[in-house]
Structure 1
Amino acid sequence: MATVDAESIASVVRTRALHPERIAELAASRRQPAGLVGETGRLLLVAADHPARGALRAGDDPLAMGDRAELLSRMIRALDRPGVDGVLGTADVVEDLLLLGALEGRVVIGSMNRGGLAGTVFEIDDRFTGYDAASIAAAGYQGGKMLFRIDPDDPATPATMQACAHAVEQLAGQQVMAMVEPFISRRDEGGRIRNDLSTEAVVRSATVSAGLASTSAHTWLKLPVVDDMETVLAATTLPVVLLGGEVSTDQGAQFAAWSKALASPSVRGMVVGRSLLFPPDGDVEAAVDATVEMMTT
């Protein structure tokens, strides 16, 4: 297992400063995964694309994901556990992991639109500021992920929708996965965007996102776990991965909800970030192992 200490972080910085070409070399030479799913028969990814959107909070700590060495350490600890297939992240995080030697044989999904910065007046205008389909394919990664929030009251929504449709089209052209994470979203009385997690809203967002582009052949949906997942999953024939969501103070209840949703054959995996990397008790390995166990039962 790669280690993340002061020396390894210094090495990453030194390579970035003096030999930036090394990043492309490592991407080109890395051992590719055998497929999108590993030993569990489902896909389990550790997500760390939140920082690029300015969303650093985990639990009660508003800057939990702001310490890069700590974030990388927790990601590598998670990746070292049996049953974890890979990562979802922006280029900076993915390239840090490449330089640390942590992505051999791993599924890598590049995060594409991070322009809707958390807490801004332009948050729903989720522009594509990260990976594009060509860079994902050129690096030998397995797909791209996009956030698609639909705010019925925000005229910026159609532009994001069009951009997501274009990204799905381009990823399909490269024959790599397009992972779409949709929500119906609205601003609350304080002006903050809140995702509507009612069954009706999640079903609607799933059906709209499934219809993006001229083909859905390579599209997977990343959906939140809500009370009536049976109705949500009945809305689409596309493969679904579950969104881990925020860190919960009641981890047992959160795991029970995940386990229930995983019983459906439509659910082909999970993408979990803060819930695994920053569990309430701090035990990353135990949180990952419990999730893997749920995926294999």
Structure 2
Amino acid sequence: MDLTELRVRHPERVAEAWQQRRQRELVGEDGRLLIVAADHPARGALGVRDDRMAMASRPGLIERLCTALQRPGVDGVLATPDVLEDLLLLGALEGKVVVGSMNRGGLQGSSFELDDRFTAYRSADDIASRRLDGGKMLTRICLDDPGTVATLESSAQAVTELAERKLMAMVEPFWSTRTDGRVSNLLDPDSVIRSVHIAAGLGATSAYTWLKLPVVDELERVMEATTLPTLLLGGDPTVAPEETYASWGKALSLPSVRGLVVGRALLFPPDGDVAAAVDQAATLVHGGAA
């Protein structure tokens, strides 16, 4: 039975499958994670490099995700409910870390992009009731945009409530700016450091907070800004894959860096070989144990 037919005839299986799913510890013996990300489409962000509609096919995206999740060393996935439920119904989430993407309301290119409302998993209860392992929130900070304060408040509430349930709160901060109506993230070291300090202070406790940060220049200095465990953002690299892997490998040697969250770079590699790209990343994160 295909996914659409299953959703038409047996929608109740989604809730049943969440309760029956085999879970795992958040981290293994090496304390590291490789998470595949697929939450971009829910913000209307479908592009990969020069292909603006690369992620437009849902069956194509799910096929790539299933390939990635089957590879050794891949710990889990970060996505919105629609994507996670497709993977769930296919049995692809068994024994995996599952992180729900929470705030997807800041649609790419919109006038309200920085008022990034919680429109996917909207609360810690949504995460906990489905037995997910954590929630992720994009937290862009723009001093000229009043939407920032609503995002900060909502992120702080999510961090607190996830911690009360002993679930990971993955905060992805950016120091952002809007120029001629277009939002961009400032990736110089000082801007990233400022965003790290703000993100770390969100919520009533940071006990279960992890950061998701971009790989930037002077990363050693950036990582001195926090003791929180950090996963590095793979992004959509425009350089050769070899350069990307080299930068990841260097970054993973830093004490606070505990892994990678990578989407487009692994799911849509330039040569189209998803398995090979994922295997390379798994080796960098987990070493020979991958």
- TM-score greater than 0.5 by the shorter chain: yes
Bigger Cα displacement from structure 2, 88-97 vs 165-174: 165-174
Distance of 2:203 and 2:54 partners within structure 1: 36
Code of the aligned partner of 1:140: R
Deviation, structure 1 residue 246 = 1.2
Q: Is the 8 A contact 2:237 2:244 kept in 1?
A: no
Does residue 149 of structure 2 align to residue 158 of structure 1? yes
Structure 2 counterparts to residues 276-287 of structure 1, below 5 A: 276-287=266-277
Does residue 52 of structure 2 align to residue 65 of structure 1? no
List per-residue Cα deviations over 1:208-259 (Å, max 9, x = no partner). Answer: 0000011000000000000111011100010000001113341111111111
Distance of 2:162 and 2:64 partners within structure 1: 29
Deviation, structure 1 residue 155 = 1.3
Q: 2:162 aligns with which of 171, 177, 190?
A: 171
- Partner residue, 2:232: 242
Does residue 206 of structure 2 align to residue 216 of structure 1? yes
Which ranges of 4 or more aligned residues in structure 1 deviate by more than 6 Å?
none
Alignment coverage as a number of residue pairs: 286
Code of the aligned partner of 2:185: N
Distance of 2:29 and 2:158 partners within structure 1: 30
- Partner residue, 2:182: 192
Deviation, structure 1 residue 14 = 1.1
Q: Is the 8 A contact 1:109 1:141 kept in 2?
A: yes
Q: TM-score, normalised by structure 1?
A: 0.94
Bigger Cα displacement from structure 2, 16-25 vs 247-256: 247-256
- Partner residue, 1:74: 64
Q: Is the 8 A contact 1:91 1:130 kept in 2?
A: yes
Secondary structure of 1:64's counterpart equals: coil
- Partner residue, 2:136: 145
Structure 2 counterparts to residues 259-274 of structure 1, below 5 A: 259-274=249-264
Code of the aligned partner of 1:187: R
Q: Is the 8 A contact 1:23 1:99 kept in 2?
A: yes
Code of the aligned partner of 1:196: L
Structure 2 residues not aligned, in runs of 5+: none
Structure 2 counterparts to residues 1-297 of structure 1, below 5 A: 11-33=2-24, 35-38=25-28, 41-131=31-121, 132-188=123-179, 190-297=180-287
Secondary structure of 1:65's counterpart equals: coil
Q: Is the 8 A contact 1:39 1:83 kept in 2?
A: no
Report the aligned-residue RMSD: 1.1
Distance of 2:248 and 2:209 partners within structure 1: 22
Code of the aligned partner of 1:13: T
Structure 1 residues not aligned, in runs of 5+: 1-9
List per-residue Cα deviations over 1:20-54 (Å, max 9, x = no partner). Answer: 11001011001111x11247541111100000010
Secondary structure of 2:2's counterpart equals: helix
Distance of 2:144 and 2:210 partners within structure 1: 27
Percent identity over the alignment? Answer: 59
The alpha-carbon distance between structure 1 residues 56 and 39, as it changes in their structure 2 partners (threshold 3 A), is farther
Secondary structure of 2:66's counterpart equals: helix
Bigger Cα displacement from structure 2, 39-48 vs 109-118: 39-48
Distance of 1:73 and 1:56 partners within structure 2: 16
